[in-house]
Structure 1
Amino acid sequence: MARHGVRHWWDSVRASKLVLCVCLTAVAGCSSPQPTKSVRANDQGKTPLRVVSLDFCADQFVIKLANRGDIVAVSPDATRDFSFMRAEAKGLDQVRPDAETILALKPDVVVRSYGGGPQMVPFLERAGIKVHQIGWGEDFADVRTNVRAAAEALGQPARGEAVVADFDSRLANLKRAPQVSALYVTPGGVTTGPGSLVDRMMSHAGLVNFQTQTGWNPLPLERLATERPAMVVTAFFTAQSPHQDYWSQARHPIVRQMLADLPVARLDGGATACSGWFMIEAMEAMAATGRSISAKAGPLPQDLEP
């Protein structure tokens, strides 16, 4: 075969290989398309995060602040009646705080308050997963800090600022009760006095805490036998609430009669938990009940007006 003929034959073979490669590539591309990531962005225009929440306190912040499509899973308590965002949690996948299960979900950010126990954080961080810890709070400043920090971790700082602004606006515009005496009662038969977050909420709502002992303590039954508050504040008294022990002081006849006789501000149980922005809902409910007592009593006689 002449030299130019060999070269022509080899050029034809190379051309055929090129056509074959193009065809195979095209077929492979048509039969096995590569998955593409969502192009939806958060407030900062960044790639969406994969977010997992480990307990019901963390659930509130994740559901409120993250894009719903970014939420891979929330805790099994997200839809319980003590979860304020329970309605919004419906339809979201749930996961128990099990380390191996969480790793399999490949999250970018894990948000927790207590979920998974003390060893969960170092375990996830060693695996290269960012963990955001929701802080505990005892005042309104802590609420703002917690919201802003969680929003930043979820890539939604503007959304966090909007939540804080709404919280502050409702605090400023809250129409308080006129110093009405109130006792906070839990199904477990305990109450709380000065210094607690619930006490601060009651005070801001215009209530005077009937309980004078600091901290969380059993209901003051001896005092209640001879003295009553003007109203009662309750939370978690629902069918799904934690089981009420048979020996709980909340079952005592004095307490049951008080709950039957006095005006009661029945709070959404989730509104008093986790030091979140939603505590404003509880304060508004307490203030409304307190104002209704004052309205029923009518105006003071002129010689008794302050």
Structure 2
Amino acid sequence: MRISDAIRGAAAVLVAAAMPAFADGSPTPSGEPAPRRVVSMNLCLDQIAMRLAAPGQLLSVSALTADPDMSPLADRTAPYRLNHGRAEEIYLMRPDLVIAGSWISPATLSMMRNLGIRVEVLPPADSLEAIGEQIDRIGDMLGREDQAQWLRRDFESRLAALRQPPERGEAAIYYANGYTSGGKTLAGAILRAAGYDNIATEYGIDDTRVLPLEKLVMADPDRVVSGSHMPGRSQGEAIMAHPALIAVAPDARAETDRDWVCGTPDVLDAIAGLE
């Protein structure tokens, strides 16, 4: 069962009430003063920063975070300016910290640093364990260590309650253009936590790569998790409507959605959705 938006909102209010009102400028673990003007320019990092930042501390998040098809927190972006990852627009916000993902353009990163902007680049959280580590790192950067500890403990305790033993059979993840995700991906970790063995492992796939439809059909998994259909769908999505795929586990199907996109506490909803 998915956690409703109403429950999400209520939880956010309770968490905020338990947190100090604002970053007071005291030193972070790195010895830097806690930043007061923070810009996040990555969909996944935005969602953690939004949960941890003090009121008024986070100025801007990426425009993707306001897209309800991509972000579970889209309805909470009104207080923030939306950025499009351009060095010029971010410079004009006069940030004292920019949080960026590892896919940032080298030219953009170089320009911001040459302009004297502190930029911290973080890799994606591609496992459930990495989510807690990501929360800690962003909490340290923001000078919000106590809030990060609370959020990590809450995430890990809820995850422990959701984890299922691998006794629910085999499952396949199948996306547009015939891609699947193996065990060393976030999607694979979600599948494993829900109690399923991933057929990608049988074919030696650990990362995200093409799995021929014929191999998926021959594996005959107990469950199929297909990619979500995006607005203005492409021809690449046609394979997910193939009759042979539809005939596999017709009564045990699921679809990835915005809770599968990023390594954030929202993956708990993705796991729960497979029960």
Q: Shorter-chain-normalised TM-score: which range?
A: 0.7 to 0.9
Number of corresponding residues: 244
> Counterpart of 2:134 in 1: which secondary structure?
helix
- Judged with a 3 Å threshold, the aligned counterparts in structure 2 of structure 1 residues 262 and 120 are, in CA distance, closer, same or farther, namely same
Residues 65-144 of structure 1: pairs in structure 2 closer than 5 A: 65-80=52-67, 81-114=69-102, 116-144=104-132
Q: Is the 8 A contact 1:49 1:108 kept in 2?
A: yes
Percent of aligned positions with the same letter in both sequences?
23
Partners in 2 of 1:161 and 1:198 — Cα distance? 25
CA–CA distance in structure 2, aligned partners of residues 54 and 175 of structure 1: 31
What does residue 283 of structure 1 align with? 271
Q: TM-score, normalised by structure 2?
A: 0.77
Distance in 2, matches of 1:146 and 1:224, equals 33
Larger mean CA deviation between 246-255 and 164-173 belongs to 246-255
How far apart are 1:61 and its partner, in Å?
A: 2.0
Give matches, 1:141-160, under 5 Å: 141-160=129-148
Query: Match for residue 173 of structure 2?
Result: 184
Q: Could you tell me the TM-score, scaled by structure 1's length?
A: 0.70
Q: 1:195 to 1:165 in 2, by over 3 A?
A: same
Per the TM alignment, residue 238 of structure 1 is displaced from its structure 2 partner at its CA by 4.5
Contact (CA 8 Å) 1:43, 1:156: kept in 2 or not? Answer: no
Structure-2 separation of matches of 1:54 and 1:228: 41
In the other structure, the counterpart of 2:30 is none
Match of 1:55 among 42, 57, 72: 42
Deviation at 1:220, TM superposition (A): 3.5
SS of aligned partner of 1:133: strand
The match for 1:232 is 224
Task: Measure how far apart 1:140 and its partner are.
Answer: 2.9
**Change in 2 beyond 3 A, CA 1:146/1:48:** closer
Shift of 1:262: 2.8
Q: Secondary structure of 1:119's match?
A: helix
Name the residue aligned to 1:222.
214
Q: Residue in 1 aligned with 2:5?
A: none
The residue type paired with residue 239 of structure 2 is: Q
Q: Which of 203, 208, 215 pairs up with 2:192?
A: 203
Equivalent position to 1:262, from 229, 241, 251: 251
Matches within 5 A, 1:240-251: 243-246=233-236, 248-251=238-241
Per-residue deviation at 1:112?
1.0
SS in 2 for 1:97: coil
Q: Is the 8 A contact 2:229 2:237 kept in 1?
A: no
Distance in 2, matches of 1:85 and 1:105, equals 22
Post-superposition offset of 1:111: 1.1
Q: CA deviation at 1:138?
A: 3.4
Amino acid in the other structure paired with 2:141: A
Alignment correspondent of 1:17: none
Q: Output the aligned Cα RMSD.
A: 2.7
**1:78–1:85: 8 Å Cα contact kept in structure 2?**
yes
Q: Say which is worse superposed, 45-54 or 71-80, in terms of deviation.
A: 45-54
Q: Is the 8 A contact 1:55 1:114 kept in 2?
A: no
The 1:195–1:100 alpha-carbon spacing in structure 2 relative to 1, beyond 3 Å, is closer
Q: Which has the higher contact order (CA 8 A, sep 6+)?
A: 2
Q: Kindly provide the amino acid, as one letter, of the partner of residue 42 in structure 1.
A: A
Q: Which runs of 5+ in 1 are unaligned?
A: 1-39, 289-306
Cα separation, 2, equivalents of 1:47 and 1:190: 42
User: Which of these residues, 245, 250, 253, is aligned with residue 243 of structure 2?
Assistant: 253
Counterpart pick for 1:194 among 176, 183, 198:
183
